[in-house]
Structure 1
Amino acid sequence: MTAEKFIREIQSTAEVFFKSIAVDIYQDAGILCIVTGIDNNFLNTVLHVNVGEDQLEERIYMARNFFSSHQVPWTWCVNPLDQPGNIGYLLKSHGFVGLESAPVMVCDLKNYSPTKSRLSIKEVFSLHDFQDWGKSLLEGFESTAENCAQFVALNQNFRSKEADFYHFVAYHENEPVSSVTLSVSSYGARIDNLATRTAFLRQGFGAEMVRCAMTKAKNLGYSWCCLESSRKGVSLYQKLGFREIYRVKIYG
């Protein structure tokens, strides 16, 4: 597989994930916009654009109108294969500012050996399970109760023809402490929603949740899995065998 095709497959796992929790999608004329309806700019975003430089201004206008109609904050994600190639410069010339450069990382699962977890980890199915799963997201992502409840509902009620989703919650002494999500599709396997409650940080629980998702992906027959890391998460993922493939540059 060429490097370009591999990057496209990784990008497609992100598109599948966001489409599955979207309440509205605009996909036309070389641009993909996702709205979840949550009051968080990172959850309403332009995920992909592929147009000529002379067409970008019109796409910016289209995106602004689309997100404005939903009255949500939003961002624009720029991937290495997006066109035009100087899109970051052009976005800045239209008033956007760079917010973040997020590493996209991949782990080869072929030589990965699962290990026994010291946590009690269960797959999420019931409403109660989802409520426990959301407790880690609320604290780990420093969210509001309203936003977190809305995000949990989107994950609980989503329907996707392109992917299967597996949510996991870990318990320590009967308390929910950490959460993670694995999505798998024809493109590949992707890890999202890794979060640990504040009182249980720096105890290795996050690493155990990532291993749980990796084990599930390997058992399902996937040879690699990917994720998008925060700056502080890079060292954790590197220890687990992930390596950076490219960066998503986020503008707002």
Structure 2
Amino acid sequence: MNYTTFKQLEKIFWNALSIKSYHEPHIQAYLSSVTAVAGFNLLYVENGASLSALENALNWYRSQKRDATIVCEKGAASKLLNDHQESLQLSPEDPTTAMMLDLTTWQPLTNRVNDFLINEIKAPLDDWAKPLSTAFSDGETALTDFDLEITAQYQKAHEEALTNHAPIHHFVIRVAGIPVCNLSLTLTKEGARFDDIGTDIHEQGKGYATTLIQHALLFAKEKGATIAALESSTAGLSIYQKLGFKALFEYEAFAWEYHD
């Protein structure tokens, strides 16, 4: 049940954020309006997928003249990708972990930050996007026009999703009026899904992400959600484990580049 719920929430989020999608048994492919990078053109490969179905999905991306990031479940799916890594010209990317939290038994931690304000943001999502601009930078190098363009394109994708009545909520935590951390929360009858959790590089390690996630968990629980889900990088695992999230399964990832 938890696996099915996780995959349902995953599909709802990426369908909302994509301009096109392609589906086969055990294959879910999404085409993003973010053209600056391929990281949002996600091809999910589930255990049970066939090589022909995978090749059909890659041909679909080829017809769109776009690169893709392939995310495959560890097991039969990752074996399929690793067995054909060379012939498909795939480059390994960082793995992630699918995680879930039982909201019916969850108890929040004590917040360790003070003097903050949390708001749900409606379009335009300028304040929501600001922490994302620097969240994954090194904090030393100035942001380039390319970095800002990625954030702007992704913000626009979220705004278009809201125009289409996607069930996505956008939260920001402010300190002294400045947005320092953000997240998006997809909330449906299936449960709640967390994405886009980012803290400004100069404000990381101060507890803002934990505080904002707990606020959104309480929000989701008050709306009737009993399960929360997210996909974590290796770096984020400890934060989510402290909050009570448990690993459900592992993902491996590969980059695939379009060629004529």
Displacement of 1:41 after TM fit? Answer: 2.5
Identity level (%): 22
Structure 1: distance between partners of 2:176 and 2:227: 32
Query: In structure 1, what is the equivalent of residue 85 of structure 2?
Result: 92
Matched to 2:128, the amino acid is W
Indicate the structure whose relative CO is greater, using CA pairs within 8 Å and at least 6 residues apart. 2
Give 2:238's match in structure 1, choosing from 219, 235, 239. Answer: 235
* Equivalent position to 1:211, from 204, 209, 214: 214
Question: Is the aligned partner of 1:35 residue 2:38?
Answer: no
Cα deviation, 1:25-50, whole Å, max 9, x if unaligned, reads 11246532101132323210112457
- Contact kept, 8 Å, 1:31 with 1:50, in 2: the verdict is no
Q: Which runs of 5+ in 1 are unaligned?
A: none
Tell me if structure 2 keeps the 8 A contact 1:48–1:78. Answer: yes
Contact 1:123 1:168 in 2 (8 A): yes
Q: Deviations over 1:200-251 (max 9, x none)?
A: 1111001111112211111111112011111111111111111111111112
TM-score (norm 1): 0.85
Kept after mapping to 1: 8 A contact 2:45/2:77: no
Give the 5 Å matches for 1:1-252: 5-28=1-24, 31-38=27-34, 39-49=36-46, 53=50, 56=51, 58-79=52-73, 86-94=79-87, 95-114=89-108, 118=114, 119-127=116-124, 130-142=125-137, 144-158=147-161, 164-252=167-255
* Amino acid in structure 2 at the alignment position of 1:75: T
* Local SS of the residue matching 1:42: coil
Whether the 8 Å CA contact 1:106–1:224 is kept in 2: the answer is: yes
8 Å CA contact 1:9, 1:188 repeated in 2 = yes
The runs of 5 or more residues in structure 2 that have no matched partner are 138-145, 256-260
Structure with the largest fraction of helix: 1
Equivalenced residue count is 242
Within 2, Cα distance between the matches of 1:224 and 1:164? 16
Q: Is this contact kept in 2: 1:195–1:206, CA < 8 A?
A: yes
Give yes or no for contact 1:136–1:197 (8 Å, CA) kept in 2.
yes
Do 1:163 and 1:185's aligned partners in 2 also have CA atoms closer than 8 Å? no
Structure 2 CA distance for aligned equivalents of residues 88 and 31 of structure 1: 13
SS across alignment from 1:15? helix
Cα–Cα, structure 1 residues 29 and 224, in superposed 2: closer, same or farther, change >3 Å? closer
Deviation of residue 84 (structure 1)? 5.8
Report the AA paired with residue 127 of structure 2.
D
Once residues 251 and 214 of structure 1 are traced to their aligned partners in structure 2, the CA distance between those partners, rounded to angstroms, is: 31
Aligned 8 A contact 2:45 2:54 in 1:
no
- Distance in 2 (CA, whole Å) between partners of 1:194 and 1:112 is 20
User: 1:97-150 deviations in whole A, cap 9, x for unaligned?
Assistant: 3312201111121133456773201001142xx101101111113471111111
In structure 1, distance between residues paired with 2:78 and 2:134: 37
Structure 1 residues 47 and 236, CA gap change in structure 2 (3 angstroms): same
